[in-house]
Each structure stands twice: as C-alpha cells, then as structure tokens.
Structure 1
C-alpha cells in the first residue's frame, strides 16, 4: 500500500463527511462542521514525516504498523500522543522482520524518551512509550525511521511532556537515579532467589555499580538534602555488594532487605524537592515499595 494513495483516501473521506453534514444539519451546524472538517484535513500529515515534539491524534485504531497518516495538533489541545524522539535503522540492508524491528525500537525508544523528558516522575499517570516503525512495504521504499512517542493507557494528554530546561545538578541526579533503577529492573531474574542465586547476585552487582557511579556524581552537588541522600545510597550500595558476594540464599536475603529498602524512591523526595524536580513517586514504583 503506497503512502500517497492512503493519504489521498483519507482526505477524500474527510471531504465527504463534511458534504454529508450539509444535508443533515442547520446552517450554523454546517459551517461549524465544515470548519472542523477543514481543520482536520489541514492537519493531516504522513506518519513518516513526524518530528520530535509533534503532538498528534491517530486517524483510527489501527496498529502502529498499519497507520499511515495522523492528525498533528497543537500540544495545548487534548491529544493521544507526542513524538519524543526518532532514529533510523542504518545497520540492516534488508528488512529484518517486524519482530526484529520491534526489538530495536523497544531498546532505543526508552532512551529517546529519557532524553526528551529526563524527569519521568513529571510524566502524567499512565504515560507509556509507543512507536511507529517501518513495515516490510515501507522498507522497500527506503523507509528506515522509527518515531518514538509517549501515549496514555486511557484518556488524552494535554500540554507538551518536554521538561523545562534542566541545570547540570538536575541532569546529573536524574542520569544516576535512572541508571540505578534500570540496573535493578533490567537484570531482574524470573524465579526465586533459591532457584537462581547467580542471577540475583548478578543483579546485585549491577545495581551496586550503578549506585557507586550515582553516589560519585552526587558528591558534586553541594545541597544538604542531596548530601543526606548520598550517604543513604552509599550505605545501600554496601548492602548490594554484600548481596552480590553472598555464598547462599540466606546470606543474600539478609543483605537484600537493606539493599532494596535503601533505594526506596520515597527516600529521595526531599532531595528532589531541593533540586526542584518532581516529587510525586510514580504509582507503579510506589506500589512496589509499598509491599
């Protein structure tokens, strides 16, 4: 299916809807309907031409791989998504398959989203990463672009999700904090500790390393609450290191309890407030530590 044909078809449908409205409504309603239809038509854009920062509404409930045109809207209006980054797949000569493309997008889009909105605590509840990616057909025409976006599980977004410019201390804190939780969840084993002690020890080693880097960066931030947080995280890093060197599951559990509670996001609120960052713990994180 060619992009051009799809785009023309969508425009034609919008015009037909506007014309049908003339026979079914009063004059004022006809004018309003025509204006709305014309506005929607004017806002149509190929999904392949999306740019970072664009706020948009899909024209249908089609899957990402089947969407060819969207309605770009001002971010101040309610919308279903905002493009937060883009990249091209340059290291593949032939179409690698939809699953392989999805794997690439799943890996790279969160990083693009992080660059666009570094403070994930400032995101609205339910915001999640989404993407438009090449299909086999579009790949054959030279399409290599992946557009990463934030959408909501339900309802719509209002306003841009892009963070206000952040200073060096804020960025340093967010980079280190994100790395710690990435190390935790990206290395989370599936079974119990007794079933996979080596896997849990590897996770603990990764978290400890991320904490060491985070603590080192926090030494350059001369703020009292941030200093308290640094001391707490330094202690937590020690517990993660004990867990990483545990010889048996019981020893691991003894260290893990203090290690895990030591990185409870609720304990970072005072430092975040001091650094003028968002202070509401995301619901999914709050649920984990509440248990």
Structure 2
C-alpha cells in the first residue's frame, strides 16, 4: 500500500469570487455561460479549510495531487470524488517542529491503523485507492496545529460512494479482520531495512517474534468463529505460528532461514480466501500482496 504525504497549510479558505461576463452572444452561449457560472459558484460554496476536515468527508483536492493544501472541495459521497477522509489523530509532540520527515514517519505508522478502523476490510477497497495524509507544516505547527488527517485518494480516476465499512460488519467479521490486519501490520511494521538475515539477525528475529505474537492473537479470535474453512485456516496459521516462533529463537542465520520459509508461506493471503468467502468478506487478494507472495 502506497503512502504519500500531502501537507496542510496554515491558511484557511481565501475569499473567492465568480465573474460572469456576457457580451453580444447567442442564447445557447449565454446558457452555457450561466451553467458554468452556477457550477463555479457551487464549487466555491463547497470549499472548506483542511483544518475542518472530518472523518467520512468526501472531497476533491484543489490544485496538484501533492504539496501544500489550503482547502478542498467537499462533495456528497454519492458523487464522483477523488478522496475521502478515513481517520485522524493528533501528533503527541511539544516543542519545535520535528520536521517533515519525522511527521511523515508518524503518519506512515498511524494512518494505516486509523484507516482500518473506518474501512477494516482492505481487500474490499477500490484498486485505485491509495493512502495519503494531510500533516502540519512548520508554519502551522507554531500555531498549535498537531492534527493529521488520513485519507484514501484515487490514484487514477475517481471514487464513488463511501468507503465506510466498520458499522456494517458482523461480530465474527470484525474479529477476523482485527486479527488478520494485526498480523500483516506486525509483519511490515517490523521489517528490517537490511536485505539479508546475516546483516541483521537480531532485527529479523524481532520481526518473527512480533509476527508470532500477532498470530497467537489472531488464532485466539478464530477459535471463537464457527465454520469449516475458518477451522482449516486456523490449522494452517497454527503451523505458521510455530515456525515463526522457531525463527524468533533461531541460533543463527541458517536456522532462521529453515524456519522462515514455511513461516512466510503459511501466512500467504491466498490461504485465507476460502475462510473470507465463508465469512462474507472480500475475496480478491490485493495486487500488491499477491505480488509479494508470488515471489
């Protein structure tokens, strides 16, 4: 999943005016001009400062897709739109502005979590939806701005309808998604920066320990869900958990590799498709995940 920053601006919505100039033209041209003016007036009326964005708002950005934003156009979610706010949080930092990179690192970690609270089944998201965020600037930080707005934006084309999904889920669906999302968050959040285990065995073992813990939590949730396919998935994940624990306790790189191969294969998202179907959840593995497990 791609995450890119879109920085907020200190300023809110600036004053705007619509100028309509009608000369000696035909009736059809006047009609088109009037319609255009009406559309322009509607867009102006829908402008809102990025400071006042709320979870659930659907909107169209003004200007470029990335960079400093002053305002956005709020639109009904049943209209075609480019983005929707799906989460928000406040940066827990005082003192001087920590810098764009530091703020982005916090948003990289927090926004996926906040977004999943609003739209838990990430498999059901439109394929063009990518996670962006609005963050404070150095200038707005001095005024007390600490808010980060997490938002899905269409990489290409537009979105239609709300991405909200949490309120419509059944208890067993919520339990499954919470465990599954936690599992893959643990995997990627603890991914070492080095390419080989030999260069950071401790880091890879720490990742394995985190994944094993997340698997235990997921398995505990699955134990309370009925269904033959869910039961089969639980058996598969239990084996994977054992291998992740072996990797976490590996004495050397060779022992780690021996445990890691079946551990990683055991959490292949394709293994959960049948259980997801049984639970009434989305069953198409996202392209980026499918690519990872395809090797």
Q: Give me the TM-score of the superposition, normalised by structure 2.
A: 0.88
1:7 and 2:14 correspond = yes
Which residue pairs with 1:113 in the alignment? 115
Q: Aligned to 1:218, which of 218, 222, 232?
A: 222
Flag the structure with more relative contact order, 1 or 2, with Cα contacts below 8 A and sequence separation at least 6.
Answer: 2
In structure 1, C-alpha distance between the alignment counterparts of 2:229 and 2:205, rounded to whole Å: 31
8 Å contact kept, 1:21–1:33: no
8 Å contact kept, 1:22–1:30: no
In structure 2, C-alpha distance between the alignment counterparts of 1:199 and 1:140, rounded to whole Å: 37
Q: Aligned to 1:53, which of 48, 51, 56?
A: 56
Which residue pairs with 1:288 in the alignment? 292
Q: Aligned to 2:237, which of 229, 233, 236?
A: 233
RMSD of aligned residue pairs (Cα, Å): 2.1
**1:237-274 alpha-carbon deviations (Å, 9 max, x no partner):** 11111222222323222222211111110010111011
Partner SS state of residue 177, structure 1: helix
Alpha carbons of structure 1 residues 267 and 30: separation in structure 2 relative to 1, 3 Å: same
Cα drift, residue 215 of structure 1: 0.7
Which residue pairs with 2:82 in the alignment? 80
Q: Aligned to 1:254, which of 233, 246, 258?
A: 258
Cα drift, residue 51 of structure 1: 0.8
Which residue pairs with 2:275 in the alignment? 271
Q: Give me the TM-score of the superposition, normalised by structure 1.
A: 0.90
Q: Aligned to 1:193, which of 192, 197, 200?
A: 197
In structure 1, C-alpha distance between the alignment counterparts of 2:64 and 2:177, rounded to whole Å: 35
* Structure 1 residue runs without a partner (length 5+): none
Which residue pairs with 2:172 in the alignment? 169
Q: Which structure 2 residues correspond to residues 20-169 of structure 1 after superposition, within 5 A?
A: 20=21, 26-61=29-64, 63-64=66-67, 66-163=68-165, 165-169=168-172
8 Å contact kept, 2:77–2:161: yes
Cα drift, residue 44 of structure 1: 0.9
Cα drift, residue 233 of structure 1: 0.4
Cα drift, residue 21 of structure 1: 7.3
For this pair of structures, how many residues does the alignment match?
A: 283
In structure 1, C-alpha distance between the alignment counterparts of 2:120 and 2:10, rounded to whole Å: 37
In structure 1, C-alpha distance between the alignment counterparts of 2:87 and 2:38, rounded to whole Å: 32
Cα drift, residue 90 of structure 1: 4.9
Cα drift, residue 184 of structure 1: 1.3
* Structure 2 residue runs without a partner (length 5+): 1-8
Which residue pairs with 2:4 in the alignment? none
Partner SS state of residue 214, structure 1: helix
In structure 1, C-alpha distance between the alignment counterparts of 2:265 and 2:207, rounded to whole Å: 15
**1:111-169 alpha-carbon deviations (Å, 9 max, x no partner):** 21010101110111132221112223323334332211111222221111111511221
Cα drift, residue 83 of structure 1: 0.5
